[in-house]
Amino acid sequence: MSDPTFRNISDTALWAAMYRAGETERRRPLFRDPYARRLAGTRGPEIAGKLRKQERNAWAWVIRTFLFDHFISEAIAGGADTIINLAAGLDARPYRMNLPPALKWVEVDLPPLLSYKEEILRADKPNCRLERIPADLGDRAARQELFEHLDASAKNALVITEGLLIYLTPEDARAFADDLAERRSFHRWVLDVVSPGLLRMMQRQVGAELDRARAPLQFAPEEGPEFFTRSGWKIAEVRSTLKAAVQQRRVPWWGYLFALFPEPKRPGKQPWSAACLLNR
């Protein structure tokens, strides 16, 4: 019997690292992540090899990272003193981005994944003050305690959750948004969201593999980023993945046609995704 594509949810970080590595090796990349190939290890190429058909969707992964980079840079320019990366995975932004040395960057993820990352990057020096905190964000009591601790040491924090929310139930996503909104210093939050229509497409493509790893794709609110306003968040900016890909000339031919349509107020059945900046 062959090994499963994903053994657990942390394996998705290896898969994501492969897309960043592929972008870095392009002639004119949108960003450079020279650590991605190393972080992907041997499992990353194995996962990508089993999901070779998904390479056609590489542009969406790349654009999401590109948009998050944009929001992070803007937040820092606007005075953010702390970046809190929840479910940080194998993200190497503290190493690859041009950051103020005084900036505090906090990475939170499951202990085995952070230990693996620490070992791979042991000889590398981050461009800012980096702290890694092992934690299970699914444990609400532990999460609230962590947020309280981080809130006490920050004045103007940006929270980022790249690729996290889609694995939550709507109820868990609501609780997560509520917990973040309670913190005085958590001024801004960058997240990505998909429509129910796109979620169903993703479930057909990789849902079975993720279900076997107990990491089902679940969260796709009908109302899009408006979902978070009930928790006290305000929508500052929404950047369509497709339209950003068109602007950067990274989308397949059909994307140029779909990008002509106006942005949906309620995504619903329409395949749609975006990177969103929220504030309070």
Query: Domains in the chain and their CATH numbers?
Result: 57-279 (3.40.50.150)
pLDDT digits over 55-107, tens only?
A: 888 999 999 999 999 999 999 999 999 999 999 999 999 999 999 999 999 99
Please compute the mean of the pLDDT values over residues 214-230 and round it to a whole number.
Answer: 97
Q: Residue 109: phi, psi to the nearest 5?
A: -165, 180
Q: Residue 131: phi, psi to the nearest 5?
A: -130, 135
Whole-model pTM: value is: 0.95
By percentage, how much of the chain surpasses pLDDT 90? Answer: 89
- Asked if residue 1 has pLDDT above 60, the reply is no
E strands along 66-218, which residues?
Answer: 82-86, 104-109, 129-134, 157-161, 186-194
Indicate the range of 8-12, 54-58, 84-88, 226-230 predicted with least confidence: 54-58
